[in-house]
Amino acid sequence: MPPKDETRLIRAGHGAGRPAKTVGPAVQKGSTVLLPDAASLYPTDGRLTYGRQGLSAQFALQAALCELENARAVALYPSGLAALTGALLAVLKAGDEVLASDVIYRPTRRFCEQVLKRFGVGVRYFDSRQDPTELVAGASDATRLILMESPGSLSFEMQDVAQVAELARARGILTAADNTWAAGLLYRPLDHGVDISIQALTKYVAGHSDVFMGSAAVADAKLAHALDDGVHNLGWSVAGDEAYQVLRGLRTLPTRLARHGTSGLAVADWLRGRPEVVQVFHPALPGAPDHALWARDYSGACGLFGFSLRPAPSAAVDAFLDALSLFGLGFSWGGFESLAISCDHQLKVRNFHPDYGGPLMRLHIGLEDPADLIADLEQGFTAYRTAKA
């Protein structure tokens, strides 16, 4: 008896054969993975049995990110924040202690405070300019991991990450770095002895402000296993379409970053000459704080940096931002568009409060022409002066 319509339509349209070879990878969509025979349902060798583990596009992205980070394995997460929390949960247990840089991404700090502490993991914050020897000497027997972010993505302090990694390893302490600023390209933490290199792919790798994803890269096989288990235990997966989108961004990462970097430095250099500006915080700018450390370790700069305005009422700071027309006002960064924010509100949760000289501002320099961006900032300064007077 021939199958009825319901059956025919469910079985139809599957066997298109090998897909044609395109420039990008095939995007498979699937929860169920069909297995060839009954014996394959429960494999003992870790073979793929379920779509949550990833399919063609996710595997292609992981392979490409291994290349970017010089990694043995890269775990994918549904956001940059999930990569940070996931990597921490994968290696920590009750009774452990984390030393975290005071400048870490604020939602990561919230996770430390509201989740890690609730599960019996202690967290202490260190001044990111603390001498590495002193920092590691201050670790306790419970210290399991040191979490760094260099440069910090609001105030751009840098840390001698390699030295911290070396000293920590000698004491059996893991190190992790939120390397979103360098996008895995301008600085490769694994090459400098860091155990876990984490980044928000949402930013420069995806590059178009339209998708969330994060990664954690490792060189060590045991850590690769721990991250993998962590992803499975928490039930995370990323969609094939989004993995494809991030991989598409990766293709042009070096080209885009080069432009972000030179445009950012042009704007930073111009800002340094402005009477409204106290200081520019851009480690790639000669003479700026931590420039020597950047020059030693980095192959380039991205487009994200800060500056402080001469002290003024918050209405003048807001007037500066509101007068900008090319710069969008918004969080996140790494896309093709320029963005501006004020930062002081976010600094309140920190333990250490260096004097930045006035209200701290952050710019993301996109792929627009830098002369146009400078003209836009000039307009902002006019509004700032008027509001301040």
Ligand X SMILES: *Cc1c(COP(=O)(O)O)cnc(C)c1O
350 catalytic residue (yes or no): no
Dihedral over alpha carbons 240, 241, 242, 247 (to 10 degrees): 90
164 binds ligand X (CB under 6 A): no
203 catalytic residue (yes or no): yes
- Minimal distance in Å, beta carbon 389 to ligand X? 35
Q: Which region, judged by CB under 6 A, interacts with ligand X, from 76-84, 88-96, 260-268, 344-352? A: 76-84
Q: Three-state SS for 278?
A: strand
What is the contact mask toward ligand X in residues 304 to 343, using x (rule: CB under 6 A)? Answer: ----------------------------x-----------
- Minimal distance in Å, beta carbon 279 to ligand X? 21
Residue (79 or 279) nearer to ligand X, CB: 79
Number of Cβ within a 10 Å radius of residue 275: 8
What is the contact mask toward ligand X in residues 90 to 119, using x (rule: CB under 6 A)? Answer: ---------------x--------------
What's phi and psi for 319, nearest 5 deg?
-65, -40
Answer for which of 68, 73, 76, 81 binds ligand X (CB under 6 A) is: 81
- Minimal distance in Å, beta carbon 364 to ligand X? 10
| Position with the least CB separation from ligand X | 80
- Minimal distance in Å, beta carbon 197 to ligand X? 12
Site size toward ligand X (CB under 6 A) is: 14
Annotated active-site residue in 77, 102, 105, 125: 105
143 binds ligand X (CB under 6 A): no
Answer for which of 178, 195, 242, 297 binds ligand X (CB under 6 A) is: 178
- Minimal distance in Å, beta carbon 40 to ligand X? 35
Burial 344-356 (b: 16+ CB within 10 A, else e): eebbeebebeeeb
Closest CA to 177 of 213, 142, 207, 152: 152
Distance set, CA 337 to CA 41, 80, 260, 332, 367 (Å): 48, 20, 10, 11, 6
Residue (214 or 306) nearer to ligand X, CB: 214
Answer for which of 180, 245, 263, 338 binds ligand X (CB under 6 A) is: 180
18 catalytic residue (yes or no): no
178 catalytic residue (yes or no): yes
157 binds ligand X (CB under 6 A): no
Pairing of β 339-342 and β 97-101 = unpaired
- CB-side neighbour CA atoms (13 Å) of 81: 10
128 binds ligand X (CB under 6 A): no
Report how far residue 175's alpha carbon sits from residue 166's, in angstroms, rounded to the nearest whole number. Answer: 9
Tokens 């420069």 sit on residue: 204
Task: Please name the helix (run of DSSP H) or strand (run of DSSP E) that holds residue 76, with its range, or none.
Answer: strand 73-77
- Minimal distance in Å, beta carbon 3 to ligand X? 46
Ramachandran bin of 174, using left for φ above 0, alpha for ψ from -120 to 50, beta for the remaining angles = beta
Write the DSSP assignment of 128-182 as a string of letters: TTS-HHHHHHT--TTEEEEEE-SS-TTT-----HHHHHHHHHHTT-EEEEE-TTT
Answer whether 3's CB lies under 8 Å from 17's CB: no
Q: Which region, judged by CB under 6 A, interacts with ligand X, from 77-85, 113-121, 132-140, 221-229? A: 77-85
What is the contact mask toward ligand X in residues 186 to 215, using x (rule: CB under 6 A)? Answer: --------------x-xx--------x-x-
Annotated active-site residue in 144, 188, 203, 350: 203
- Minimal distance in Å, beta carbon 81 to ligand X? 4
Annotated active-site residue in 96, 102, 160, 178: 178
Answer for which of 25, 54, 80, 249 binds ligand X (CB under 6 A) is: 80
Say whether the peptide bond before residue 151 is cis (omega within 30 degrees of 0): yes
Closest CA to 302 of 327, 267, 346: 267
DSSP state of 28: -
- Minimal distance in Å, beta carbon 87 to ligand X? 12
Q: Which residues bind ligand X (CB under 6 A)?
A: 79-81, 105, 149, 153, 178, 180, 200, 202-203, 212, 214, 332
Q: Which residues are catalytic?
A: 52, 105, 178, 203
